[in-house]
Amino acid sequence: MSVRRRVLGNLRAVLAPVAAGMGVMAAAAAVLVPTLAGGAGAGGGGAGRAATPVVTHPAYGPGTASGTSPAAGCTSRNAAESLRPSSDEGPAVARIKERGQLVVGVDQNTYRWGYRDPATGKLAGFDIDLARAIATDILGPDAKVVFKAVPTDQRIPALQKRRVDMVVRTMTINCARKKLVAFSTSYFQGGQQVLAPKASAVKAFDDSLRGKRVCTAAGSTGEAELAARPHGAKVLTVPNQLDCLVRLQLGQADAVVTDNALAAAQAAQDPAVELKGRPFTDEPYGVAMNEADTDLVRRVNKVLDDYRAGGAPDGPWMRAYRKWLKADLPDISGPPSPEYSD
């Protein structure tokens, strides 16, 4: 059996519990409910391919910014700015407390970030730890979290339609998205990069992609970058980034464009692939919320201030980094510093 076929078999074994676990899971005061796809209700499961999202801008959707929108005056330099932290309770926080649970859109198949651990059957990862910390701050030590698996291209619709209170899913903060949803301050800094087989002629995000089949997730910043600068590539879009790794392994794609943090996790799953070139964008990850929930944005920023703990080695952020990310991203000295717009 070839190395690639053996790795693919191992990956399928890892993903089998993920695919089987689309129902409800209750463990340690947390439940996972079915995947959100277009047209799925708050408690219903989306079967098959995700429906067309309500946003139609390439990767993000139509702009709705006005002079009072957080996106007004947004540039690449200030995109990561958010509202100053506060523990004051407003309508969004009150709604969560009255319901008695926090509903969070997450990934359940991205290794290290948000995935179903096949050994335990539980969700785990850097984003999952952060979501639990937010829930604990709002609801107390016995906080109940409802995790909803949200495809990449359904993150914004899920927030707009209030199917979730927030999305904690390696979601990049940028001006196009800030026209549609609100963001916390950045909790991680990544960058778009190319993933390809080690023996590939693809060298980076450049003309070595010409004529190649390049996979990226619909609704991702990778899709936007390829739309702007395709380098002669044939672009293939899928609902989730992990689908690209499977396409790569099956020989249905020649390369993947995704965040380097996600690509590093995928390379950890498959030793036949590697990161190519260098990151070619800045990708600050933030917690996304409905644009009307300004009190929740401020509360999450308060949690993030505590979570960063000034980058202290024994702080929650650094502990989570060492546990989940350091093996694949070893050169990070601490969390990104918060930036505020008010």
pLDDT of residue 125: 97
What pLDDT, on the 0 to 100 scale, is given for residue 17? 37
CA angle 129–276–200, rounded 5-degree value: 125
Q: What pLDDT score was predicted for residue 331?
A: 86
CA distances from 109 to 72, 161, 221, 282, 329 (A): 34, 23, 19, 23, 19
Q: How many Å apart are CA 313 and CA 229, to the nearest integer?
A: 40
- Cβ atoms of 29 and 142 within 8 Å: the answer is yes
> What pLDDT shows up at residue 269?
85
State the SS3 of the chain: CCHHHHHHHHHHHHHHHHHHCCCCEEECCEEEECCCCCCCCCCCCCCCCCCCCCCCCCCCCCCCCCCCCCCCCCCCCCCCCECCCCCCCCHHHHHHHHHCCEEEEECCEECCCEEECCCCCCEECHHHHHHHHHHHHHHCCCCCEEEEECCHHHHHHHHHCCCCCEECCCCECCHHHHCCEEEEEEEEEECEEEEEECCCCCCCCCHHHCCCEEEEECCCHHHHHHHHCCCCCEEEEECCHHHHHHHHHCCCCCEEEEEHHHHHHHHHHCCCEEEECCCCCCEEEEEEEECCCHHHHHHHHHHHHHHHHHHCCCCHHHHHHHHHCCCCCCCCCCCCCCCECC
Q: What is the spatial distance between Cα 117 and Cα 120, in angstroms, rounded to a whole number?
A: 6
Question: Do the bridges between strand 114-116 and strand 109-110 make them parallel or antiparallel, or are there none, so unpaired?
Answer: antiparallel
Per-residue confidence of the chain (342 residues) as pLDDT tens digits?
444 444 444 444 444 333 333 322 323 334 454 556 543 333 333 333 333 333 333 333 433 333 345 577 899 889 999 999 999 999 999 999 999 999 999 999 889 999 999 999 999 999 999 999 999 999 999 999 999 999 999 999 999 999 999 999 999 999 999 999 999 999 999 999 999 999 999 999 999 999 999 999 999 999 999 999 999 999 999 998 889 999 999 999 999 999 999 999 889 889 999 999 999 999 999 999 999 999 999 999 999 999 999 899 999 999 999 999 999 999 899 999 999 999
Backbone angles phi, psi at 154, to 5 degrees: -110, 5
pLDDT in tens, 142-189: 999 999 999 999 999 999 999 999 999 999 999 999 999 999 999 999
Tokens of 49: 């391919």
**Tokens at 284, concatenated:** 């600050």
For 77, residues 6+ apart whose C-beta sits below 8 A from its C-beta are none
Q: Are 307 and 224 in contact (CB under 8 A)?
A: no
Read off φ and ψ for residue 148, nearest 5 degrees: -115, 125
Per-residue pLDDT at 9: 46
- Sole residue written with tokens 């879009």: 237
